[in-house]
Amino acid sequence: MQIEIKHGSPYTPTTQGVIERFNRTFKSKLRRTREFGKLDWKNELKVIIEGYNYCKSRATGYAPIEFFNGSLCIDADNNIFLKTIV
């Protein structure tokens, strides 16, 4: 798994707000997986990120993967996965 550390511009609340909102969502999902006793961190991080990337944002109306790929492609396995995790 490749994780990049990115720093936002100082004194720009609009970009910092987006980052902080993602962090809050990510922490919430991570806490939820811990409540179910899942301890495989590497796998759970991947599951959480994939779930986030395929969920449509209320703010934009699009899933992050749609911006990256230009369309939303979900196969049958991922669709089942999303219903159970997210």
Cβ 25 vs Cβ 52: under 8 Å: yes
Count each helix (H run) and each strand (E run) in the chain, helices first: 4, 0
Domain count for the chain, please give it. 1
What pLDDT score was predicted for residue 46? 84
What pLDDT score was predicted for residue 74? 57
> Does a structural domain hold residue 33?
yes
Each residue's pLDDT tens digit in the chain (86 positions)?
677 887 777 777 777 777 788 889 888 888 887 777 767 777 788 888 888 888 888 888 888 888 877 766 655 455 544 444 44
Which domain, by its residues, includes 31?
Answer: 13-85
> Does a structural domain hold residue 67?
yes
